[in-house]
Structure 1
C-alpha cells in the first residue's frame, strides 16, 4: 500500500484467485456534510457492510452478510458498539493530538486505518497488514516479518519507539494478522462463496464514435472484476495502437471494460486477421470477437442508428458509471474477533486506562 486516501477505487485483481478481508476506519475533522466517523468491511474487495455516525446504523451491503448477521447477532451488536460508542471518540481525540503534533489549527483533517488479510489461493501467498494514514499520506505501518512498526513520516518516529517497546501489543497485533483474520476470512468466504465465487459472462460489442475514431471492443455485465481484454492479430496479442481502459462497475454489481484499437492503418483485406479477446478469471472459454465491419455500432449519421441501419439494443449502449467509493472503514475488529475467537491475547491496559486505539494513536499517553 503506497497511499491511503479518503476515497478508494475498487481494486482490480489479476488472473489468480485472491481472497481478502479488509477493515477501514476513517475519522474526519472540519469536513462539512461528511460523517465524523465512517466504518466499512470489504470481503474480496466487495463492500459488504458499512456504518457512519450520521446514520447511526450498521448496514449490510450484501444479502449473504445480512443472513450471516441474523444468524450471528453478537457480531452485529459488537459492530454497533464499535461504530457508535467506542472507536469514534477515540479517533476524534487522536486527530486533536496529531493536529498538535503537526502544529495545525483548523482546516480539514483525516485520520485513517486499514487492516486485514489477503490470501492468494493460486500461489498460497498470505499477507497480513495494518497501516495508519493522516491527511491522505502514509503515517505508520506494521511489518509482520520483523514484528516492528515502520515510521513512514519523520513525525511518526515517537509512535514507532513507543509501539515497538510495547511487546504485548506486538504479540497481539501479530496474532490478529496471522490467526484471527485468516479464520475470519475463511468464515466469510465459506458462508458467502455462492456470491463471492460466482461468475457472469458479459456481452461484447464493437463500438466506434466516428469513422476516424479508434474502434472500441466493449464488454459489460461480467463478474467478478478479475478479467483481461486485448486485441490480437493472427493469434498474437497486440501492444501497439492499443489502449486499455479501466474496469468500471455497473449499477447492478457487474462490471464493464473496453480496449481500443487504432484501425486507421488497417486495410479492409486485413480486418479478418484481427480479434478482440475477453478472458474472465475462473472461466476456461474466452469470448472472441472478430473484427467485422458489419458488427460495428456507431453514432455517426442519424442519431441512434447503427451503420447497418438497425437500432442498438440497451445492452450495446456504452454505459460509463463513475465510481468513487468512500474509504469506508469497519470497526477495529480487535474486540470483534477477540470476542468471537478468543485466540488473540488482549494486551494489558495502559497506565491511563486508555483503549487500544487511543494508545496506538497517541505516543505521549
Structure 2
C-alpha cells in the first residue's frame, strides 16, 4: 500500500511516502525531499521516480495554499492557525491484481471530505462539510483533484506500488531478532523487560512463572518504532509480592512472528540494570569528596594557628634566653 499524507500548517507543508507502514521518504516544503536509507537504492535504480517526487514536493505548497484559503473564507475564518490534511494511497492484491484506492481530506483535525472512487464525487464526512461538498464538486479545486486521481489510480500508483513491492520484497520479508535487557529504576520499582531492534513488528513479549505466562501483575507496553526502521517493546513485572527466593521461577520470553527460536531471559539480580547502582556510586564519590575537603580545611586551619603562635612567641636561642633571665633577675 502506498500512503501519502499532506499537511498544511500556516505556510508549511509536509508529506510522507509509506509502503506497508515503512517510511520511504519525507517531504518538507521548506527543506525539500528527505529520502530514507531504505529507499535510496530504489531511487538509484529508478532516478526518474526520484525526480517525480522532488517535483511533487515542490508543488505541495502552491496547491494546498489556495485550498485552505477557500475553506477559511467559506467558514468565515479570518485569522488563526488552520490545518488541511490529505491522505491518499492504494492497495494492490498481488494475487487478484485488484487495485483499491482511497482519498480523504481532514480540516482542523477532523474528517472532512472523502472521494468516492466509483462515482468520483465528494462525500461529506461531517455536517460542517455538507456546504463544502457541492463547491468541491463544481470548483476547479475539487474537479482538479478528481481528474488527477482518475489518472493516479489507473496508471501511476499501481505501477509504483508493484515496483516497490518487487524491489523491497526481500527487505520486507527480513527478520531481525532484538537485544533483550532487564531494567529497574529502584529496588522497589517493577522490573521492565525491554526488547529492542526487532523486525517485523509482529512479536510478543511476556513474563512467565514456572513456564506459564502471567496474565496478572504485568503491564504490557506498546510496540514502538526505532529510528532505524526496527521496533521495540517492553513488559513490566511487579515484584512487590515476590520473595527473592522465588525470582528464579520467573523469566521473560520474546517471540518473533515466523521465527521458531525464543529469546528467554531469566530473572536474575545480576542481569538487572538499575539507576540505583549509579546513585550509590555518586554517594560514595560525594562522601569521599567531603572527607577530602574536610581534611584540607583542618590542615589549613592548623597551619594558620601554627603561624600565628610562631609570630607571637619570641625566638628561642641560647643567647636570647640568657639575656632575658639576666634582665629579670634584680640581683644581677
Distance 2:174 2:44 in 1: 23
Indicate whether 1:228 and 2:209 are aligned.
no
Are residues 127 and 243 of structure 1, via their aligned partners in 2, closer, same or farther at CA, if it must alter by over 3 Å?
Answer: farther
Indicate whether 1:27 and 2:8 are aligned.
yes
Which residue of the partner structure matches residue 322 of structure 1? Answer: none
Q: Structure 1 residue 129: deviation in Å? A: 2.6
Q: Which runs of 5+ in 2 are unaligned?
A: 282-332
Indicate whether 1:129 and 2:110 are aligned.
no
Which structure shows the bigger proportion of residues in helix conformation? 2
Q: Structure 1 residue 26: deviation in Å? A: 1.6
- Equivalent residues in 2 for 1:30-179, closer than 5 Å: 36-55=12-31, 57-63=32-38, 65-85=39-59, 87-118=60-91, 128-142=101-115, 149-161=122-134, 173=149, 176=152
Distance 2:278 2:143 in 1: 72
- Equivalent residues in 2 for 1:244-255, closer than 5 Å: 244-255=220-231
Contact 1:129/1:177, CA 8 A, preserved across alignment:
no
**RMSD of aligned C-alpha atoms?**
3.5
Are residues 146 and 97 of structure 1, via their aligned partners in 2, closer, same or farther at CA, if it must alter by over 3 Å?
Answer: closer
Contact 1:41/1:49, CA 8 A, preserved across alignment:
yes
Q: Structure 1 residue 159: deviation in Å? A: 4.0
Distance 2:166 2:159 in 1: 10
Distance 1:247 1:304 in 2: 33
Distance 2:118 2:237 in 1: 45
Distance 1:235 1:119 in 2: 42
Distance 2:210 2:17 in 1: 45
1:31-55 CA-partner distances (Å, limit 9, x unpaired): xxxx622222112222212222212
Distance 1:269 1:192 in 2: 50
Contact 1:101/1:155, CA 8 A, preserved across alignment:
no
- Equivalent residues in 2 for 1:305-320, closer than 5 Å: none
Contact 2:205/2:255, CA 8 A, preserved across alignment:
yes
Helix, strand or coil: the match of 2:261? coil
Q: Structure 1 residue 114: deviation in Å? A: 0.7
Q: Which runs of 5+ in 1 are unaligned?
A: 1-19, 30-34, 306-365
Distance 1:272 1:145 in 2: 61
Helix, strand or coil: the match of 1:192? helix
Contact 1:163/1:169, CA 8 A, preserved across alignment:
no
Distance 1:236 1:148 in 2: 55
Contact 1:208/1:215, CA 8 A, preserved across alignment:
yes
Bigger relative contact order, structure 1 or 2, given CA contacts below 8 A and separation 6+? Answer: 1
Are residues 108 and 200 of structure 1, via their aligned partners in 2, closer, same or farther at CA, if it must alter by over 3 Å?
Answer: same
Helix, strand or coil: the match of 2:131? helix
- Equivalent residues in 2 for 1:275-354, closer than 5 Å: 275-303=251-279
TM-score (norm 2): 0.70
Contact 2:191/2:237, CA 8 A, preserved across alignment:
yes
Helix, strand or coil: the match of 1:200? coil
Contact 1:242/1:259, CA 8 A, preserved across alignment:
yes
